[in-house]
Amino acid sequence: MLKFKPIIINRKTDYYENVEYIPQIMFLYRRWEKFLKDDFAMSEESFYEYFMNLIEDVSPYFWVILFNNETAGFVYLENFTGDSKILHGAEITTCFDKKFWGSFTYYTALVFFNYCFKNLGLKKIKALVYPENFRVVRLLKRCGFLKEGILKAETMRNGKPQDIEVYSLFR
C-alpha cells in the first residue's frame, strides 16, 4: 500500500514528526545527489546539518514515500508562489530507491500530483532537471509535464557551468 508520511522538523518549537525515516532518505539523497544538488548546495555545514536544514526549511511539505511500510523514496515541495491563503505553484524534488523505478514511480507521481492539485490547491507544479537525467525527463513527460525552457549555465556543478531544464504541469 502506497503512503506519503510528512517529515516535519521544527527545532524552535522542538516539534518532530516521522523523523525515524531520516536515515533512509539521507541514504537515498547521498546515492543520487549528483542529480539533486549543485556546487552551492552545501557550504561549510556537514551533510547531516544540510539535510536537516532542508527538511526544516520545507516543512510541512516534505514526505517520505512508503510502499508496504518500506521506504521507496521521498518528495518535497519548495519555492512556492501564492500567499498564505492561496498557493499557486511549487517546485518539486523527488528521489526513489532504484528498485522502485518504473511503473511504481509513475503511479506514485500521478497520486502525488493529484494530491497537490486537489488538497493543496496548486495550479502549477514545476520541476527543474539536469538535462542528462533522462529517466526523470521521461517520467515528467509521461505524467503530462511540458518543457518550458532551458536555463543556460544556471548553476555550477563539478566546477563547470550547468544548464537546467524547466518542466511544468498545470492543473
Question: Cα torsion at 36, 38, 41, 47 (round to 10°)?
Answer: 60
Q: Give the model confidence (pLDDT) of 114-139 as tens digits.
A: 999 999 999 999 999 999 899 999 99
How many of the other CB atoms lie within 10 Å of CB of 44?
Answer: 6
Contact 65, 99 (CB under 8 A): no
Those residues with Cβ within 8 angstroms of residue 84's Cβ, 6 or more apart along the chain or in another chain: none
Beta partners for residue 149, in sequence order: 166
Percent of the chain at pLDDT above 90? 79
Report the amino acid identity of residue 124: K
Q: Give the model confidence (pLDDT) of 36-45 as tens digits.
A: 777 677 665 6
Q: In 20-102, which ranges are continuous DSSP H helix?
A: 22-32, 47-58
What does the pLDDT read at residue 11? 94
Report the amino acid identity of residue 6: P
Phi-psi map region of 158: left, alpha, beta (phi>0 left; psi -120 to 50 alpha): left
pLDDT band at 13 (very low <50, low <70, confident <90, very high): very high
C-alpha span between 36 and 90 (Å, rounded): 16
Average pLDDT over residues 44-60: 88
Beta strands 87-96 and 124-129 are parallel
